[in-house]
């Protein structure tokens, strides 16, 4: 899959989100990067995505004047999985939903219940 198609898949996932999730994504940027930095993936385990920000359930009354949250989806680690077609699209979807789940404040158990793990 070329990166342009990868980007379209991420856009499709975002476009298909339920309205309540879209509403909760206000002030969250979703970006595609080639691969994670060493800071993001210090073990080199092949991080597929990352959420950088403060989860909604962790924001207090003093939460203001901060930079927007960011979800980063990494292209090359997805390609390194060796998946194609529907399997690759499903993995991209799961990665995007997983990182959105972190933004929403879901723990790993809840992410698994939703199929977002």
Q: Spell out the domain ranges in the chain.
A: 3-58+66-114
**Residue 32's pLDDT is what?**
98
Q: Is the pLDDT of residue 108 over 90?
A: no
Q: How confident is the model at residue 58 (pLDDT cuts 50, 70, 90)?
A: confident
% the chain with pLDDT above 90: 72
pTM: 0.91
* Rg of the chain (C-alpha set): 14
Q: Residue 69 phi/psi, 5° resolution?
A: -70, 160
Other C-beta atoms lying within 10 Å of the C-beta of residue 75: 19
What is the mean predicted confidence (pLDDT) over 25-50? 93
Mean pLDDT of the 14-29 span: 94
Fold of 3-58+66-114: Zincin-like (3.30.2010)
User: In angstroms, rounded to a whole number, what is the distance separating the alpha carbons of residues 40 and 73?
Assistant: 12
State mean pLDDT over 28-54: 93
| Alpha-carbon distances, residue 21 vs 46, 58, 99 (angstroms) | 27, 17, 12
35: tokens are 């691969």
Given a cut of 90, is residue 61 above it in pLDDT?
A: no
């Amino acid at each position: 899959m070329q990166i342009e198609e990868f980007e379209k898949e991420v856009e499709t996932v975002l476009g298909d989100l339920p309205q309540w999730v879209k509403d909760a994504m206000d002030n969250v940027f979703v970006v595609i990067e080639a691969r994670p930095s060493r800071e993001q993936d210090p073990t080199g385990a092949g991080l597929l995505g990352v959420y950088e920000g403060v989860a909604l359930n962790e924001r207090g009354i003093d939460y203001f004047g901060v930079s927007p949250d960011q979800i980063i989806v990494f292209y090359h680690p997805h390609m390194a999985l060796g998946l194609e077609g529907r399997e690759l699209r499903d993995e991209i979807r799961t990665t995007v939903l997983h990182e959105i789940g972190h933004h929403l404040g879901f723990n790993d158990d809840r992410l698994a219940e939703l199929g977002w793990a």
